């Protein structure tokens, strides 16, 4: 066939439909605007989002004397494969926000704005719409604006059903309020905030357990169901039973709002000396990052409640205790190190803000390690 006889090539014929992608992107405007506050500067058709660092109106009274920008980037890992298998995508959108904002607030920062990157082999409006709505919901709950992002249509790189996510978050903190390991002292109290389950780490191992043990993601396993909580008038009604898939897709808990609000209530004194987001590498591999090289964190096992999903995975995967604590959060999603005289006060504030808080240990002399005993 001669060159003249060949059908002219187009981008759409090669597998990338620009018109469909642009149409989907334009349809997201209302979703994004629901996360915008007075700091967002409208920029229709712009190549980037605009965000005012300080409020101009005295009414808001959040201007900074010596502001430091804080930025981070993270993804959801192989949890996206589980989401694809079950066809549920809004929860991993929340995961994406949580994995970023939970890291950012460790520095004492408040989240300002968020951007996402979605890579997909095809423009599926239902899938992408659910995903972005989940991201927007995570931003709304965390008090940060979803300024925009990128949807990369790459059929040559991703197989049908595959996709990947990345998130980027920027926040701000007053220089004098930046969290530093040097502030932690011997005798400080370690508070642990409950996780909502596996969160977004260790899913390569989780999926291997499901595969090798022949578990059914659509089955309701009795041992995974929470025990009804007791109220003032006795035991409350049990929540709706959840399948294994629903349990495993429970999104990462968003700690930004309660942590930022708690920190704001101590404007004069730095009563919180350190914090840690418990992600991959577990309690031991993350809490140590908040410590100076001369101190250890002594954490007492059994001082908090472990969600049933962890013993379930351990039993079906025949996983050793050391491996469980090295890979998973084991029920603690976030840790706050507090001066001993303020431990009760901080705990009460966080509990009023909806967190389940446990006194899990204290800081002792050592060499920058976490002792799980």
Taking only the tens place, the pLDDT of each residue in 174-218 is: 999 999 999 999 999 999 999 999 999 999 999 999 999 999 999
Please indicate whether residue 297 or residue 270 has the higher confidence score (pLDDT): 297
Taking only the tens place, the pLDDT of each residue in 246-274 is: 999 999 999 999 999 999 999 888 899 99
**DSSP conformational letter for 318:** T
Answer CATH for 18-177 from 2.60.40.10, 3.20.20.60, 3.30.830.10, 3.30.1330.10: 3.30.1330.10
Taking only the tens place, the pLDDT of each residue in 128-173 is: 999 999 999 999 999 999 999 999 999 999 998 899 999 999 999 9
Residues linked to residue 274 through DSSP beta bridges, in sequence order: 337
Task: Identify the sign of the CA torsion 127, 128, 132, 133.
Answer: negative
Average pLDDT over residues 105-120: 96
Q: Give the burial class of 293: count Cβ atoms within 10 A of its Cβ; 0-12 exposed, 13-18 middle, 19 or more buried.
A: exposed
Taking only the tens place, the pLDDT of each residue in 12-29 is: 767 777 777 777 777 778
pLDDT at 107: 96
Per-residue pLDDT for 239 more than 80?
no
pLDDT at 294: 98
Q: Give the burial class of 246: count Cβ atoms within 10 A of its Cβ; 0-12 exposed, 13-18 middle, 19 or more buried.
A: middle
At 11, is the pLDDT very low, low, confident or very high (cuts 50, 70, 90)? low
Q: Please answer whether residues 195 and 278 qualify as being in contact, where contact means their C-beta atoms are separated by less than 8 angstroms.
A: yes
Domain pair 18-177 / 181-221+248-372, same fold? no
**C-alpha–C-alpha distance, residues 132 and 138, integer Å:** 10
pLDDT at 129: 94
Q: What's 181-221+248-372's CATH class?
A: alpha beta
Task: Identify the sign of the CA torsion 260, 266, 270, 273.
Answer: negative
pLDDT at 237: 65
SS3 label, residue 284? helix
Percent of the chain with pLDDT strictly greater than 70: 92
Residues linked to residue 230 through DSSP beta bridges, in sequence order: 235
> DSSP alpha helices (H): ranges in the chain?
18-27, 29-33, 79-86, 90-104, 125-142, 203-212, 244-248, 256-264, 282-287, 309-317, 321-327, 343-352
Every domain of the chain and the residues it spans: 18-177, 181-221+248-372
The full DSSP string for 69-100 is EEEEEE--TTHHHHHHHHT--HHHHHHHHHHH
Taking only the tens place, the pLDDT of each residue in 308-357 is: 999 999 999 999 999 999 999 999 999 999 999 999 999 999 999 999 99
Helix-helix angle 256-264:90-104, to 10 degrees? 30
Average pLDDT over residues 292-312: 97
Q: Among 184, 178, 198, 152, which residue's Cα sits nearest to residue 263?
A: 178
Q: Please answer whether residues 183 and 295 qualify as being in contact, where contact means their C-beta atoms are separated by less than 8 angstroms.
A: no
**C-alpha–C-alpha distance, residues 316 and 266, integer Å:** 45
* Whole-prediction pTM: 0.91
């Amino acid at each position: 066939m001669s060159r003249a006889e060949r059908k002219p090539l187009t981008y759409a014929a090669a597998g990338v439909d620009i018109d469909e992608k642009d149409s989907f992107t334009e349809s997201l405007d209302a979703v994004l605007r629901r996360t915008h506050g007075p700091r967002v500067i409208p920029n229709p058709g712009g190549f980037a989002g605009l965000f005012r660092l300080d409020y101009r109106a005295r009414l808001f009274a959040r201007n900074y004397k010596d502001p430091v920008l804080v930025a981070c980037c993270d993804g959801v890992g192989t949890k996206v494969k589980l989401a694809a298998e079950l066809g549920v995508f809004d929860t991993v959108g929340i995961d994406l926000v949580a994995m970023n904002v939970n890291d950012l607030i460790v520095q004492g920062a408040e989240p300002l704005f968020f951007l996402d990157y979605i890579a997909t082999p095809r423009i599926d409006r239902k899938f992408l719409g659910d995903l972005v709505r989940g991201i927007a919901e995570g931003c709304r709950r965390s008090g940060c604006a979803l300024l925009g992002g990128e949807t990369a249509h790459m059929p040559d790189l991703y197989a049908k059903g595959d996709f990947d996510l990345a998130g980027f978050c920027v926040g701000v903190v007053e220089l004098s309020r930046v969290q530093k390991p040097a502030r932690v002292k011997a005798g400080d109290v370690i508070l642990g905030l409950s996780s909502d389950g596996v969160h977004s780490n260790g899913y390569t191992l989780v999926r291997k357990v499901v595969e090798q043990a022949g578990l059914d993601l659509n089955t309701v396993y009795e041992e995974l169901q929470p025990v009804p909580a007791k109220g003032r008038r006795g035991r409350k009604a049990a929540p709706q039973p959840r399948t294994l898939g629903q349990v495993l897709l429970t999104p990462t808990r968003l700690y930004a709002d309660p942590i930022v609000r708690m920190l704001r209530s101590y404007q004069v004194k730095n009563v919180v000396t350190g914090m840690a987001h418990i992600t991959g590498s577990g309690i031991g591999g993350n809490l140590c990052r908040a410590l100076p090289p001369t101190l250890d964190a002594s954490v007492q096992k059994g001082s908090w409640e472990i969600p049933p999903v962890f013993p379930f995975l351990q039993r079906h995967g025949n996983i050793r205790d050391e491996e469980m604590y090295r890979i998973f959060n084991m029920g603690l999603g976030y840790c706050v190190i507090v001066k001993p005289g303020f431990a009760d006060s901080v705990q009460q504030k966080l509990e009023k803000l909806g967190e389940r808080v446990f006194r899990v240990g204290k800081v002792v002399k050592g060499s920058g390690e976490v002792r799980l005993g």
